[in-house]
Amino acid sequence: MEKEFKELLQSSKKIIGDIEKKVEGTRENLSTDMGTLWGDIQTSFTKIKDELLDEGNKEKAQEKVLEAKEKLDHVKDSVTKFATNFKNDHQADLDITALRAHLAKMDAEDFLEEKRKKISREVQESSHSLEKMAFNASKDIQDFFASLSEQFNKKS
């Protein structure tokens, strides 16, 4: 499971990078609001990628993946709406999407701080349980970004 875990982390980081390149390649065509929203989303992506580091300490790496999953859960809806607007070149829901992305970013930061203590306690309680949770979280992250990547690829 450790090898699969590392592969999921690498795959997720690669997919995030691919999505960033795709949007950056058309950034000049984005409206000002979409560009601002993309900047916020890109900041969230960077934070998620930072959490997906394959550290030497297995438990620390698993804890970081769980933190990344929590960050992703808070911005997932906004990112999905951005992808839909990007793909369809619609801006009807842009104001709502921008607001949700901003609020999700703020909520994620607050929520993460509250959850950090809980995660640390869970790490101490059960290494095996953590390993399974981290693996499932990394799989969820990889699945989400793979699906999002497909949406971006459909635009081309």
**What gap in Å lies between CA 155 and CA 111, rounded to an integer?**
34
Q: Would you state the structure tokens that stand for residue 74, as one six-digit string?
A: 């808070």
Q: List, as one string, the DSSP characters of 82-133.
A: HHHHHHHT--TTHHHHHHHHHHHHHHHHHHHHHHHHHHHHHHHH-HHHHHHH
Q: What is the pLDDT of residue 92?
A: 47
The identity of residue 64, as a single letter, is K
Q: Which tens digit of pLDDT belongs to each residue from 26-82?
A: 777 777 777 777 888 888 888 777 777 766 677 777 777 887 888 788 778 778 877
Domain ranges of the chain: 2-155
pLDDT at 9 over 50: yes
pLDDT, one tens digit per residue, over 76-107 is 877 887 777 777 665 544 555 666 666 676 66
* Residue 125 neighbours by CB distance under 10 Å: 9
CA dihedral sign, ordered 104, 105, 110, 114: positive
**Does the pLDDT value for residue 148 go beyond 60?**
yes
pTM of the entire predicted model = 0.58
